[in-house]
């Protein structure tokens, strides 16, 4: 299905063979009618969309072989939303000016995160389907880290006009399949032209009657624990950046993180006192908890030993597996604090303790990662990823 072009904006595995060449044929949009359907649940692909994709020889081509500009905004949107299932919480899905989503407990958890081509993904490193999954996963992890379940996603997409429709189809498939795996709907979004692919996702979540678990409520003496993988995404990124073959597990982890979504609500139920997801790096993200809660933590190096998979990649690259565990972002593991003496729920492992300090200076002005000690010591160097480069580790 995918051809390996080496140049142009859609290289390698991302370009459908049929869109590799220029267009010898014309795509003529006949009648495009994307009126909203009375709906909320499944819709069928729009049969009213008539596309004449025959070339001069009369040979017929699929719309998937066109570019976004050739198909047009509304046909592109129609391809992204038609024929998809919605969960019961979606009362009105895509098609109107806004969606309507059921919020049973009277509150909605809401968050958003974006992926920018070149900055967060490369089309020669990840297939569009993987990028779609990753965008949904990182948003779903933010909801899990509040102790909630994702219910609905809104997908705002910017892309260049020459983006192959096949790329958007695959991106859409990734988005919908990750959302579906969470029992959540894709209920709307926006599609605009931009110089590169930008994917901004907003997620809604349901606390199911529980209080949200905040960053600001860790207490002295609490246990520090994590659920999920640490350092795998950073290792995968390093493997891709070095152009190394092999190490498929970490490369896969970089392309599509697997946040332990269910561990968020489970932690909330077990009485977690604070929680966050690890997007920028363990030290950086625990540092946000320290700053918000006005506490310091001490992590146990023995509990943060890189596993064999990381060691193998680090050995071959001459890289630092400890740094991947401590400062590597994008695994979207969950990190939380639990009261002393509470038995950690399944999936959680203890990695340290909140110190019994008093008078700890926190707040937004604290340096990233400040307050997080490893083996009793402040670690030097970057604590994780920062969007505008300060303290950036890679």
Ligand X SMILES: Cc1ncc(C[n+]2csc(CCOP(=O)(O)O)c2C)c(N)n1
The residues that touch Mg ion, with contacts defined as CB under 5 A, are 113
Q: Among 250, 252, 246, which residue's Cα sits nearest to residue 231?
A: 250
The pair of three-digit structure tokens given for residue 35, joined into one six-digit string: 């009126």
Q: Which of residues 106-135 bind ligand ATP (CB under 6 A)?
A: 113
**CB of residue 118 vs ligand ATP: minimum separation in angstroms?**
17
Secondary structure (3-state) at 199: strand
Q: What is the largest CA-CA distance in the chain?
A: 80
274 touches ligand ATP (CB under 6 A): no
Q: Which is nearer to ligand ATP, 86 or 276 (CB)?
A: 276
**CB of residue 47 vs ligand X: minimum separation in angstroms?**
39
| Strands annotated E in the chain | 2-5, 12-16, 28-29, 51-52, 90-92, 100-101, 109-116, 149-159, 185-193, 198-206, 223-227, 274-277, 297-299, 334-338, 349-354, 372-374, 377-378
Dihedral (Cα; 378, 384, 388, 394), 10-degree rounding: 110
142 touches ligand ATP (CB under 6 A): yes
Cα 170 to Cα 252: distance, rounded to the nearest angstrom:
17
Q: Which does 120 bind (CB under 5 to 8 A by kind): Mg ion, ligand X, ligand ATP, none?
A: ligand X
DSSP code of residue 69: H
**CB of residue 330 vs ligand X: minimum separation in angstroms?**
5
The pair of three-digit structure tokens given for residue 153, joined into one six-digit string: 């996603």
Contacts (Cβ under 8 Å, ≥6 apart) of 7: none
Q: Which does 142 bind (CB under 5 to 8 A by kind): Mg ion, ligand X, ligand ATP, none?
A: ligand ATP
320 touches ligand ATP (CB under 6 A): no
Q: Which of residues 278-297 bind ligand ATP (CB under 6 A)?
A: 279-280
**Binding site residues, ligand X, CB under 6 A:** 113, 120-122, 237, 279-280, 329-330, 385, 387
**CB of residue 257 vs ligand X: minimum separation in angstroms?**
10
**CB of residue 119 vs ligand ATP: minimum separation in angstroms?**
12
Residue number with the shortest CB distance to ligand X?
Answer: 329
Cα 327 to Cα 99: distance, rounded to the nearest angstrom:
38
Site size toward ligand ATP, by CB under 6 A: 5
Residue number with the shortest CB distance to ligand ATP?
Answer: 279
Residues at the interface with ligand ATP (CB under 6 A)? 113, 138, 142, 279-280
């Amino acid at each position: 299905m995918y051809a390996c072009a080496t140049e142009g904006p859609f290289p390698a595995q991302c370009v459908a063979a049929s869109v590799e060449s220029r267009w010898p044929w014309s795509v003529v949009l006949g009648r495009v009618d994307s009126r909203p359907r009375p709906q909320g649940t499944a819709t069928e692909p729009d049969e009213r969309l008539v596309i004449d994709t025959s070339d001069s020889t009369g040979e017929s081509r699929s719309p998937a072989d066109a570019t976004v500009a050739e198909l047009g905004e509304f046909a592109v949107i129609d391809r992204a939303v038609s024929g998809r299932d919605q969960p019961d919480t979606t009362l009105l899905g895509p098609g109107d000016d806004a969606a309507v989503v059921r919020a049973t407990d009277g509150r909605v958890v809401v968050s958003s995160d974006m992926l920018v081509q070149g900055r967060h993904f490369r089309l020669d490193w990840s297939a569009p389907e993987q990028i779609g999954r990753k965008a949904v996963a990182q948003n779903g992890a933010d909801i899990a880290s509040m102790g909630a379940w994702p219910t609905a996603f809104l997908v705002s997409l910017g892309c260049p006009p020459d983006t192959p429709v096949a790329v958007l189809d695959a991106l859409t498939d990734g988005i919908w399949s990750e959302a579906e795996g969470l029992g959540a709907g894709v209920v709307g979004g926006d599609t605009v032209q931009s110089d590169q692919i930008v994917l901004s996702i907003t997620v809604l979540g349901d606390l199911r009657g529980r209080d949200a678990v905040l960053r600001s409520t860790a207490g002295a003496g609490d246990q520090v624990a994590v659920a999920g993988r640490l350092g795998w995404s950073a290792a995968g990124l390093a493997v891709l950046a070095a152009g190394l073959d092999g190490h498929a597990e970490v490369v896969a982890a970089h392309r599509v993180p697997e946040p332990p979504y269910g561990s968020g609500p489970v932690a909330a139920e077990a009485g977690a006192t604070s929680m966050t997801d690890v997007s920028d790096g363990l030290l950086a993200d625990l540092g946000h908890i320290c700053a918000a809660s006005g506490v310091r933590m001490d992590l146990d190096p023995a509990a943060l030993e890189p596993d064999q998979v990381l060691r193998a990649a680090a050995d071959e690259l001459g890289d630092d597996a400890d740094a991947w565990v401590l400062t590597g972002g994008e695994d979207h593991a969950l990190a939380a604090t639990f009261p002393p003496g509470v038995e950690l729920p399944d999936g959680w492992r203890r990695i340290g303790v909140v110190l019994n300090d008093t008078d700890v200076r926190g707040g937004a002005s604290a340096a990233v990662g400040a307050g997080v000690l490893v083996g009793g010591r402040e670690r030097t160097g970057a604590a994780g990823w920062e969007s505008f480069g300060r303290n950036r580790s890679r």
